[in-house]
Amino acid sequence: MFQKVAIIGGGAAAATLVSELLERRTPKPLHLDWYAGRPDAGRGVAYGTPSERHLLNVRAASMGMFVSKPGGFLEYAQSLDPHVKGSDFLPRKLYGDFLRSRVEQAIGNAHTFKHHINVVPFTADSLVPSKEGITIGYGDESAHADAAVLAIGSLPPRPLPGVQDAAMASGRYVTDPWPYLASASEDDRPLRVLVIGLGLTAVDVLLELSAKWPNARFTALSRHGKLPEPHLDSPSVPGDDGSDLIEALRDDPNARNWSKRLRKAMGLGRYAHGANSDEERAVDWRTVIDGMRPHTQSLWADLPVAERARFLRHARWAWERARHRMPPQVTDAVIKLEKADRLKRLRGRMRSVSLSPDGELAVLRALPGGNEITETYDIVVQTVGLNTDTLRTKHPLVRQLIVDNLVLPDSLGLGLKAQRDGHLLDHDGKPRANLFAIGSLLRGALWESTAIPEIRRQAQSVANMLVSNKPEKATK
Residues 46 and 136 in one domain: yes
Strands 126-130 and 217-222: unpaired
476 pLDDT exceeds 90?
no
Residues 286 and 408 in one domain: no
Residues 283 and 201 in one domain: no
Q: Write a three-state SS string for 349-382.
A: EEEEEEECCCCCEEEEEECCCCCEEEEEECEEEE
270 pLDDT exceeds 70?
no
What CATH code is carried by the domain that includes residue 218? 3.50.50.60
Per-residue pLDDT tens for 228-261? Answer: 999 998 887 766 667 889 999 999 999 999 999 9
Q: CA-CA distances (angstroms) from residue 394 to 8, 76, 224, 234, 436?
A: 17, 37, 29, 42, 20
Residues 223 and 368 in one domain: yes
Residues 49 and 143 in one domain: yes
Residues 298 and 395 in one domain: no
Helix (H, G, I), strand (E, B) or coil at 124: coil
Banded pLDDT at 343 (limits 50, 70, 90): very high
Residues 217 and 312 in one domain: no
User: Last residue of some domain: 337, 360, 382?
Assistant: 382
Residues 364 and 313 in one domain: no
Per-residue pLDDT tens for 420-466? Answer: 999 999 999 999 999 999 999 999 999 999 999 999 999 999 999 99
- HSE toward the beta carbon, residue 303, CA cutoff 13 A: 25
Residue 446 counted as domain residue? yes
User: Which residue range(s) make up the domain with 446?
Assistant: 4-155+387-467
Q: For residue 156, give every residue at least 6 positions away whose Cβ sits within 8 Å of its Cβ, in sequence order, or none.
A: 176, 387, 393, 394, 395
Q: For residue 179, give every residue at least 6 positions away whose Cβ sits within 8 Å of its Cβ, in sequence order, or none.
A: none
| Average pLDDT value for residue range 100-118 | 95
Residue 235 counted as domain residue? no
The whole-number pLDDT of residue 242 equals: 78
β partners of residue 47? none
Rg (alpha carbons) of the chain, rounded to whole number = 23
Residue 257 counted as domain residue? yes
**Torsions phi, psi for 346 (to 5 deg):** -125, 145
Residue 102 counted as domain residue? yes
Q: For residue 440, give every residue at least 6 positions away whose Cβ sits within 8 Å of its Cβ, in sequence order, or none.
A: 153, 154, 155, 386, 388, 415, 449, 450
Residue 472 counted as domain residue? no
Residue 376 CA to residue 31 CA, distance in Å, equals 55
User: Last residue of some domain: 344, 362, 382?
Assistant: 382
276 pLDDT exceeds 50?
no
Residues 196 and 344 in one domain: yes
Residue 473 counted as domain residue? no
pTM over 0.75: yes
Exposed/middle/buried for 428, CB within 10 Å: 0-12, 13-18, 19+? exposed
Residues 44 and 143 in one domain: yes
Helix (H, G, I), strand (E, B) or coil at 299: helix
Residues 336 and 292 in one domain: no
- HSE toward the beta carbon, residue 257, CA cutoff 13 A: 11
Looking at the 3D structure of the chain, how many domains does it have? Answer: 3
User: Last residue of some domain: 382, 398, 415?
Assistant: 382
Residues 209 and 332 in one domain: yes
The whole-number pLDDT of residue 240 equals: 65
Residue 125 counted as domain residue? yes
**Lateral strand order in the sheet of 147-150:** 116-120, 31-35, 4-8, 147-150, 431-437, 423-425
Helix (H, G, I), strand (E, B) or coil at 76: helix
Residue 62 counted as domain residue? yes
Percent of the chain residues topping a pLDDT of 90? 83
Percent of the chain residues topping a pLDDT of 70? 94
